[in-house]
């Protein structure tokens, strides 16, 4: 371990939240004069690792070294004193303070014991000039676009960081020219000997900018490699957790024949929303499972939100069985027989303090309207039926859902929607964070529902899993639907190639 | 954001219009005499309201203000009247205690993560109860220092009297403006009110700032108590009941958002002035019940909360249009 030359290194970092291990013995180091990409899917532990390095969280185990000396980073202020500047993902700054105050809060220039405003604003202007930003720095930050706010956050962090700069998804809201400006600055800082940690899900940016790449998956270190020696396809397989070499077996699993189309179809045509997903066509027949594959940030969840009316589309139309329909709110979607099991079960799915019975009855009750309350007896019957049908393991149906295991919580959410007898079920990462046994059961359930004639859209980053049940697979990248695999084309290999091939194609496009 | 200043301008406009209307009806109200009385009569309210402004900008609330005013008043009366302390010594003791009291509440709010509403509600009962434990009667203060200070004033052009306590209030407002806009502490207060988590991530000393904010409010409530005792020459445990609500009203009418993050100390001064103008009008009129002040303040509060709501909705819609999905 070459800790001697590292600016900051984390060794064997362990961190658990509520008994769930989110970082499990992760090693990570930043050398002077390098840009180091930290990659991984959602829940891989990137943000937690950053928050441990910057003192937001304290590790349960492991050591952080600064130039070889073990340190305890007490809090964010302390991290700044140690020369580690950070732009966090969940932006960020304070919209109610002026731009200049945001840049200099806590270190405003003083004169006669008071803040020297004009001096502060002069410095703020000079600082932002490096980024080609010319704005009124005495105006409230909230007045400016998200991109400007993001650049201000970056300028602040760069200015603060003595030796290490951490950027968590800094380019998400920047356009191409702004990204180029930022990259030019980062390269300049690197050449000055600063160590930069760069978290992103744009693979082309990783190759355009970074020297080394570290990949995390499920809280574990997959590996750290030189960017120049790591082909994109291999990087994708590191992130998605599957070696290409072993991918050849079992691809010929029996494929469901294409369904007897026409008539009973839900058709989205040219459906899209600016800054969310580019317009796409999607047609789903009864008994079809459309898998959606793509890396984090490729527009997977955005697609689900659009289909379910959480975000209103700004282009396109929808027809159900040939008749035009509109889905502008989840409520309208439920009326049409749509259902969505969201990605973040804990915050968007279950109501933790309510019982299993109440959680299952929720959607059906919502559809009936609040005036016609479902009698408890009817709710109990419903709950009993689904507890049996889906094999939900709970001591009784009055137990608060938060005490159930992840897999059983997921089944409760599924039961809630199945109770409404939906015709289109959208599942966003249905198997995330649940144990292997429950995993298999959910997959079996998806297959069964499909045989019963339900239409399903399943979003998953588990490639093996998605190949197991999909009739067709959508490939997403950069918030666009880039292609579709059907029938015999569906194999983990092909999916990975499709994602990576397009990645390198657009990478060449970017560098050209 | 010009939106941000809008409530303040609205308040200023209302104050000017209200004053204009009063003057049209009673030309005598246009004099420095009235101004002087207005300052003197509302001195304790104004001083306490400055502390409340900081608390509310930081996203908190302090319900203990009125009780602390009563407690300091009683304490001073007892120290001076029964134990023969010099008033200045009594003032120092009272200010020290009220500051510590505020700091203690701030510490509980931060370290035990209890809502400010509950903590200061407890503080309100505690301070009020303590004043009653000391005495249940009104204790007059007959010290000569009091009569000296009461007779001191600066004669403004036009014959109005700027008394010591009226002047003190103006000084406190001036200090408050400087503190809010020209010190690091001030920017921390706004930062806390804007977004506590972001503030923490940006390295704002959240704990120290929270404690200091409530200590400041405690200190200014104590100072308001001192002023109130000079104003009334007495200490009475039942005095200043509900003053915290008057100060909250002045702060909100002054354009400070109850959700924190935006507001101006100067706005609070206008808020206090509006309440004073209404009272003066009632005095001039002579037939109206003084409770009309409360009714008008109530109506103004509704109007301002509605205005703020609309502004928040408008600006969040704008922000929503910009934010990526």
pLDDT higher than threshold 80 for residue A5: no
- Using the Cα atoms of residue B166, residue B167, residue B168 and residue B171 in order, give the sign of their dihedral: positive
pLDDT attached to residue A66: 86
d(Cα B77, Cα A184) in Å, to the nearest integer?
A: 70
pLDDT in tens, A114-168: 888 888 888 898 888 887 788 888 888 887 777 778 788 888 888 877 788 888 8
pLDDT attached to residue B316: 59
Any B CB within 8 A of A80 CB: yes
Contacts A145 to B, Cβ<8 Å: 322
d(Cα A310, Cα A334) in Å, to the nearest integer?
A: 11
pLDDT higher than threshold 60 for residue B323: no
Question: Which is it for strands A212-217 and A220-226: parallel, antiparallel or unpaired?
Answer: antiparallel
Tell me what the pLDDT averaged over chain B comes to.
87
Phi-psi region of A241 (alpha: psi -120 to 50; beta: other; left: phi over 0): left
For chain B, the domain total comes to 1
pLDDT higher than threshold 90 for residue B3: no
Least confident interval from A236-240, A373-377, A455-459: A236-240
> Cβ B203–A92 below 8 Å, yes or no?
no
User: Which CATH code is given to the segment(s) A3-230?
Assistant: 3.40.50.300
pLDDT in tens, A228-256: 888 877 887 787 765 443 333 333 344 44
> Cβ A97–B319 below 8 Å, yes or no?
no
pLDDT in tens, B150-173: 888 888 887 788 898 999 999 999
Least confident interval from A494-498, B76-80, B166-170: A494-498
pLDDT higher than threshold 60 for residue A507: no
Least confident interval from A149-163, A276-290, A436-450, B253-267: A436-450
Question: Which is it for strands A164-168 and A195-199: parallel, antiparallel or unpaired?
Answer: parallel
Any B CB within 8 A of A275 CB: yes
- Is there a domain that residue B28 lies in? no
Sheet holding A8-17, edge to edge: A20-30, A8-17, A61-66, A69-71
pLDDT in tens, A472-494: 888 888 788 888 888 788 888 78
- Is there a domain that residue B149 lies in? yes
> Cβ B202–A94 below 8 Å, yes or no?
yes
Any B CB within 8 A of A159 CB: no
Least confident interval from A256-260, A264-268, B220-224: A256-260
ipTM of the complex: 0.79
| Nearest Cβ partner for A108 among B184, B190, B319 | B184
Best to test chain B binding among A51, A57, A94 (most B CBs inside 10 Å):
A94
d(Cα B7, Cα B307) in Å, to the nearest integer?
A: 7
The range of the structural domain enclosing residue B161 comes to 2-22+34-315
Tell me what the pLDDT averaged over chain A comes to.
80
- CB of A458 closer than 8 Å to CB of A237: no
Q: Which of B116, A207, A144 is nearest to A152 (CA)?
A: A144
pLDDT attached to residue A502: 54
B201: nearest CA in chain A?
A76
pLDDT attached to residue B180: 92
CB neighbour burial string for B279-301, b if at least 16 within 10 angstroms, e if fewer = bbbbeeeeeeeeeebbebbeebb
Phi, psi for residue B213 in degrees, rounded to 5: -60, -45
Across the range B89-98, mean pLDDT stands at: 94
Q: Give me the residue spans of the domains in chain A.
A: 3-230, 264-337+423-512, 349-421
d(Cα B99, Cα B251) in Å, to the nearest integer?
A: 21
pLDDT attached to residue A509: 39
pLDDT attached to residue A263: 55
pLDDT attached to residue A247: 36
CATH superfamily of this structure's domain A264-337+423-512:
P-loop containing nucleotide triphosphate hydrolases (3.40.50.300)
pLDDT attached to residue B275: 85
pLDDT attached to residue A497: 81
pLDDT attached to residue A489: 81
Both structure tokens of B104:
């203690």
- Is there a domain that residue B27 lies in? no
> Cβ A94–B194 below 8 Å, yes or no?
yes
Best to test chain A binding among B203, B259, B319 (most A CBs inside 10 Å):
B203
Model confidence band, residue A4 (pLDDT cutoffs 50, 70, 90): very low
- Using the Cα atoms of residue A403, residue A408, residue A413 and residue A418 in order, give the sign of their dihedral: negative
The proportion of chain A whose per-residue pLDDT surpasses 70, expressed as a percent, equals 89
pLDDT higher than threshold 80 for residue B87: yes
pLDDT attached to residue A314: 84
Contacts A146 to B, Cβ<8 Å: 322-324
Model confidence band, residue A404 (pLDDT cutoffs 50, 70, 90): confident
Any A CB within 8 A of B321 CB: no
Any A CB within 8 A of B112 CB: no
Which residue carries 């197991």 as its tokens? A468
pLDDT attached to residue A89: 66
pLDDT in tens, A34-76: 999 998 876 678 888 888 888 888 888 888 888 888 888 888 7
Q: What is the dihedral of CA A262, A266, A269, A272, to 10 degrees?
A: -160
pLDDT higher than threshold 50 for residue A511: no
CATH, residue B204 = 1.10.3470
pLDDT attached to residue B69: 95
d(Cα B194, Cα B260) in Å, to the nearest integer?
A: 6
Apex CA A483: angle with CA A481 and CA A487, to 5°? 130
Least confident interval from A81-85, A134-138, B7-11: B7-11
Half-sphere exposure at residue A395, Cβ-oriented, CA atoms within 13 angstroms: 3
> Cβ A88–B325 below 8 Å, yes or no?
no
pLDDT attached to residue A436: 57
- Is there a domain that residue B148 lies in? yes
pLDDT in tens, B98-151: 999 999 999 999 999 899 999 999 999 999 999 999 988 888 888 888 888 888
Cβ neighbour number for residue A250 with a 10 Å cutoff: 12
Q: Between the ranges A328-337, A375-384, B210-219, where is the mean pLDDT highest?
A: B210-219
Any B CB within 8 A of A114 CB: yes
pLDDT attached to residue B292: 80
pLDDT attached to residue A233: 78
Sheet holding A265-273, edge to edge: A277-285, A265-273, A315-320, A323-325
d(Cα B57, Cα B189) in Å, to the nearest integer?
A: 7
Both structure tokens of A268:
């989205």
> Secondary structure of chain B in the HEC alphabet?
CHHHHHHHHHHHHHHHHHHHHHHHHCHHHCCHHHHHHHHHHCHHHHHHHHHHHHHHHCCCCCCCHHHHHHHHHHHHHHHHHCCCCCHHHHHHHHHHHHHHHHHHHHHHHHHCCCCHHHHHHHHHHHHHHHHHHHCCCCEECCCHHHHHHHHCEEECCCCCEEEHHHHHHHHHHHHHHHHHHHCHHHHHHHHHHHCHHHHHHCCCCHHHHHHHHHHHHHHHHHHHHHHHHHHHCEECCCCCCCHHHHHHHHHHHCCCCCCCCCCCHHHHHHHHHHHHHHHHHHHHHCCCCCCHHHHHHHHHHHHHHHHHHHHHHHHHHHHHHHCCC
């Amino acid at each position: 371990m070459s800790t001697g030359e590292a600016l900051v290194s984390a060794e064997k970092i362990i961190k658990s939240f509520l008994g769930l291990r989110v970082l499990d013995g992760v090693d990570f180091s930043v050398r002077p004069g390098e840009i180091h990409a930290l990659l991984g899917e959602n829940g891989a532990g990137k943000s937690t690792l950053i928050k441990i390095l910057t003192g937001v969280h304290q590790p349960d185990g492991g050591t952080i070294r600064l130039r070889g000396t073990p340190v305890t980073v007490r809090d964010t202020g302390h991290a700044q004193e140690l020369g580690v500047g950070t732009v966090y993902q969940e932006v960020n700054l304070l919209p109610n303070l002026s731009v200049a105050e945001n840049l200099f809060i806590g270190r405003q220039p003083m004169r006669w014991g008071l803040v020297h405003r004009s001096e502060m604003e002069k410095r703020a202007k000079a600082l932002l000039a490096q980024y080609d930003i010319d704005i009124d720095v005495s105006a409230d930050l909230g007045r400016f676009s998200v991109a400007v706010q993001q650049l201000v956050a970056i300028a602040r962090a760069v200015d603060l960081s003595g030796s290490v700069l951490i950027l968590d998804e800094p380019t998400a809201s920047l356009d191409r020219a702004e990204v180029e400006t930022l990259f030019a600055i980062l390269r300049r800082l690197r050449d000055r000997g600063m160590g930069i940690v760069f978290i992103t899900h744009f693979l082309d940016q990783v190759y355009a900018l970074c020297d080394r790449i570290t990949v995390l998956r499920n809280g574990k270190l997959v590996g750290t490699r030189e960017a120049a020696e790591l082909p994109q396809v291999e990087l994708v397989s590191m992130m998605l957790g599957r070696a290409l070499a072993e991918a050849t077996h079992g691809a010929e699993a029996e494929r469901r024949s294409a369904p007897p189309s026409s008539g009973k179809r839900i058709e989205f045509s040219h459906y899209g929303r600016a800054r969310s997903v580019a317009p796409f066509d999607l047609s789903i027949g009864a008994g079809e499972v459309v898998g959606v594959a793509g890396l984090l940030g490729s527009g997977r969840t955005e697609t689900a939100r659009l289909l379910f009316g959480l975000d209103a589309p700004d282009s396109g139309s929808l027809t159900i069985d040939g008749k035009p329909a509109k889905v502008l709110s989840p409520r309208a979607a439920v009326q049409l027989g749509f259902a969505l099991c969201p990605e973040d079960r804990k915050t968007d799915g279950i109501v933790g303090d309510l019982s299993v019975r109440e959680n299952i009855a929720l959607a059906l009750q919502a559809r009936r309207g609040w005036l016609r309350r479902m009698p408890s007896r009817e709710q109990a019957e419903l709950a009993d039926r689904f507890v049996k049908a889906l094999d939900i393991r709970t001591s009784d149906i009055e137990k608060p859902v938060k005490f159930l295991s992840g897999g059983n919580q997921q089944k409760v959410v599924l039961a809630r929607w199945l109770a409404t007898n939906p015709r289109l079920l959208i599942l966003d990462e249905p198997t995330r964070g649940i144990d292997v046994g429950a995993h298999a059961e959910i997959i079996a359930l998806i297959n069964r529902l499909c045989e019963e004639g339900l239409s399903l859209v399943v979003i998953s980053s588990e490639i093996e899993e998605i190949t197991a049940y999909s009739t067709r697979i959508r490939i997403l990248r950069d918030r666009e639907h880039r292609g579709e695999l059907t029938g015999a084309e569906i194999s983990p290999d092909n999916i990975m190639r499709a994602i990576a091939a397009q990645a390198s194609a657009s990478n060449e496009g970017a560098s050209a | 954001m010009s939106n941000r200043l809008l409530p303040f301008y609205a308040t200023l406009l209302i104050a000017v219009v209200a004053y204009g209307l009063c003057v049209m009806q009673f030309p005598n109200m246009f004099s420095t005499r009235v101004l002087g009385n207005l300052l003197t009569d509302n001195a304790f309210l104004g001083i306490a309201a400055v502390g409340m402004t900081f608390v509310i900008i930081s996203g908190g609330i302090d319900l203990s203000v009125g009780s602390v005013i009563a407690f300091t008043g009683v304490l001073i009366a007892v120290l001076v009247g029964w134990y023969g302390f010099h008033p200045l010594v009594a003032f120092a003791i009272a200010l020290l205690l009220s500051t510590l009291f505020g700091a203690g509440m701030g510490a509980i709010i931060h370290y035990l993560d209890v809502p400010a509403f509950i903590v200061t509600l407890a503080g309100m009962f505690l301070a009020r109860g303590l004043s009653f434990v000391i005495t249940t009667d009104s204790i007059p203060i007959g010290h000569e220092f009091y009569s000296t200070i009461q007779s001191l004033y600066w004669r403004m052009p036009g014959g109005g009297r700027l008394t010591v306590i009226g002047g003190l209030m103006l000084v406190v407002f001036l200090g408050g403006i400087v503190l809010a806009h020209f010190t690091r502490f001030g920017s921390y207060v706004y930062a806390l009110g804007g977004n506590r988590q972001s503030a923490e991530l940006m390295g704002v000393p959240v704990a120290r700032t929270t404690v200091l904010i409530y200590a400041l409010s405690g200190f200014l409530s104590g100072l308001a108590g001192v002023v109130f005792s000079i104003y009334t020459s007495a200490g009475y445990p039942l005095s200043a009941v509900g003053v915290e609500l008057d100060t909250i009203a002045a702060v909100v009418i002054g354009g400070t958002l109850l959700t924190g993050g935006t507001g101006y100390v100067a706005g609070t001064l206008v808020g206090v002035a509006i309440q004073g103008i209404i009272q003066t009008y009632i005095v001039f009129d002579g037939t109206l019940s003084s409770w009309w002040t409360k009714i008008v303040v109530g109506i103004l509060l509704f109007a301002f909360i509605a205005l703020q709501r609309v502004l928040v909705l408008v600006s969040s819609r704008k922000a929503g249009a910009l934010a990526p999905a």
